[in-house]
């Protein structure tokens, strides 16, 4: 399968990339970057460094949006470190980002291989919204989009109701959810229940591969932040879970096809993802439906993640 990743690396973004490059049936056709966990300059540099580290320096990296469509950005240095990768040093990239923007690269790739490219979006959705502006037919040109974002029936992680990727650009998320992609939403509902815990982290630390060693060091920082959230040595595997669901949909053990919207006006609820989960939904609602993932096989995912890093 041919995969385009839009990301803001970011520690869990780094793990998602590591997962994908380890899959024999995945061809990474491009990586777009976006502000989010850090500025777009830093996330672009990190994407280049990670691909160098993972032995894939030939994958084109395109720098994307440096800010949301409407509001100012909220970066997350506390969670991901000042350099976005837990303040761990990574190899200097051999090459540079391509001239095209992330949105332009995605549109060009999608036009050149209609129906063949899968998109993994694990950062704010600004680049995807910009790509839709360049090519409104994009939902027909790509095969499938898996988005890590939103918090539907659980608390948010940056505001009481909003998840970081959606909260960073609610307008863009709303544009993407309305566009008619074949879209799977991997929200905090499942990622906050898919935790790398102490024994798994210890097992990873014992693996002797470059990918495992660097991931383990990135995670030391990340877990430092998450330990307060979970009250134990653990962290949520947001972006790598979405990557694994893209490559192996069987990891999803339950999902519902529902219209999902983003609250754009609420005084306390801006950035909230609202899914119509009523047993008697409004049948005249013409909002395209998304597959909202409600249960996953976390144990199998963690096994695969460890294998990918070996």
Would you give the distance in Å from CA 27 to the centre of its chain? Answer: 17
Nearest alpha carbon to residue 225 among 82, 90, 126: 82
CB of 123 to ligand BDR, least distance (A): 6
- Tokens matching residue 292: 């909202």
For the segment 163-192, give every residue that binds ligand BDR (CB under 6 A): 163-165
Q: Which of 6, 45, 238, 239 is catalytic?
A: 238
Distances (CA, A) of 304 to 236, 238, 247, 254, 298: 16, 15, 11, 19, 10
**20 touches, from ligand BDR, Ca ion, none (C-beta below 5 to 8 Å by class):** none
Interaction of residue 37 with ligand BDR, rule CB under 6 A? yes
C-alpha 109/C-alpha 4 separation (Å) is 9
Interaction of residue 272 with Ca ion, rule CB under 5 A? no
For the segment 44-83, give every residue that binds ligand BDR (CB under 6 A): 76, 79
Interaction of residue 122 with Ca ion, rule CB under 5 A? yes
CB of 33 to Ca ion, least distance (A): 10
Residues in the chain: 310
CB of 282 to ligand BDR, least distance (A): 29
Show the CA angle centred on residue 124, arms to residues 121 and 128, nearest 5°: 60
Alpha helices in 75-125 (DSSP H): 77-80, 102-112
Considering only residues 148, 243, 251, 258, which one is a binding residue for ligand BDR as defined by CB under 6 A?
A: 148
8 belongs to the catalytic site: yes
**163 touches, from ligand BDR, Ca ion, none (C-beta below 5 to 8 Å by class):** ligand BDR
Interaction of residue 174 with Ca ion, rule CB under 5 A? no
Order the strands of the 289-296 sheet from edge to edge. Answer: 61-63, 27-33, 2-7, 117-121, 142-148, 183-186, 289-296, 252-262, 273-275
For the segment 232-271, give every residue that binds ligand BDR (CB under 6 A): 238-239
Distances (CA, A) of 80 to 75, 219, 229: 9, 9, 15
CB of 112 to ligand BDR, least distance (A): 28
C-alpha 242/C-alpha 185 separation (Å) is 8
Nearer to Ca ion, 80 or 211 (CB): 80
Interaction of residue 122 with ligand BDR, rule CB under 6 A? yes
CB of 21 to Ca ion, least distance (A): 17
Q: Is residue 188 helix, strand or coil? A: helix
Q: Where on the chain is the footprint of ligand BDR (CB under 6 A)?
A: 10, 12-13, 37, 76, 79, 122, 148, 157, 163-165, 238-239
């Amino acid at each position: 399968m041919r995969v385009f990743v839009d990301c803001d690396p970011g520690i869990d973004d780094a793990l998602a990339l590591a997962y994908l490059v380890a899959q024999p049936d995945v061809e990474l056709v491009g990586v777009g970057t976006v502000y989010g966990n850090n500025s777009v300059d830093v996330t672009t540099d990190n994407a280049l460094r990670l691909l160098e580290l993972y032995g894939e320096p030939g994958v084109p990296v395109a720098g994307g949006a440096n800010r949301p469509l409407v509001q100012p950005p909220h970066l997350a240095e506390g969670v991901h470190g000042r350099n976005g990768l837990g303040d761990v040093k990574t190899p200097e990239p051999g090459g540079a980002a391509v001239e095209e923007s992330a949105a332009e690269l995605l549109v060009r790739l999608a036009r050149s291989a209609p129906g063949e490219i899968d998109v993994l979006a694990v950062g704010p959705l600004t680049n995807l919204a910009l790509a839709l502006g360049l090519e409104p037919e994009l939902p027909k040109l790509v095969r499938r989009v898996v988005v890590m974002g939103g918090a539907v029936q659980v608390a948010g992680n940056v505001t009481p109701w909003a998840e970081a990727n959606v909260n960073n650009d609610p307008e863009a998320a709303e544009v993407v959810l309305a566009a008619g992609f074949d879209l799977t939403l991997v929200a905090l509902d499942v990622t906050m229940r898919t935790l790398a815990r102490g024994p798994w982290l210890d097992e990873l630390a014992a693996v002797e591969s470059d990918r495992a060693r660097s991931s383990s060091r990135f995670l030391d920082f990340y877990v430092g932040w998450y330990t307060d959230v979970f009250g134990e040595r653990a962290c949520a595997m947001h972006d790598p879970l979405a990557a694994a669901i893209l490559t192996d949909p069987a990891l999803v053990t339950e999902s519902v096809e529902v219209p999902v919207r983003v609250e754009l006006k609420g005084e306390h609820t801006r950035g909230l993802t609202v899914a119509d989960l009523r047993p008697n939904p409004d049948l005249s609602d013409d909002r395209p439906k998304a597959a909202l993932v409600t249960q996953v096989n976390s144990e199998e995912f963690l096994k695969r993640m460890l294998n990918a890093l070996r």
